[in-house]
Amino acid sequence: MIEVTKDNFDQEVRNSSGLVMVDWWGPKCEHCLELMPHVEELEKRYGDRMKFCKVNTAGNRRLAIGEKVLGLPAMVFYRDGQRVAELSGQDLMPEDIEAKIKELID
Catalytic residues: 29, 32
Beta partners for residue 19, in sequence order: 79
- Total of chain residues touching other proteins, rule CB under 8 A: 29
Residue 47, SS3 per DSSP? coil
Neighbours of 23 (CB within 10 A): 24
If binding is defined by CB under 8 A, does position 37 make contact with other proteins?
Answer: yes
Q: What CA–CA distance (Å, rounded) separates 91 from 88?
A: 8
Among residue numbers 5 through 24, which ones bind other proteins (CB under 8 A)? none
Under rule CB under 8 A, residue 68 binds other proteins: yes
Among 8, 71, 99, 105, binds other proteins (CB under 8 A): 71
Q: Minimal distance in Å, beta carbon 7 to other proteins? A: 19
Task: Give me the residues paired with residue 75 across strands.
Answer: 23, 87
Closest CA to 26 of 62, 66, 74, 96: 74
Residues that bind other proteins (CB under 8 A): 26, 28-31, 33-34, 36-38, 41, 57-58, 61, 64-65, 68-72, 74, 88-91, 93-95
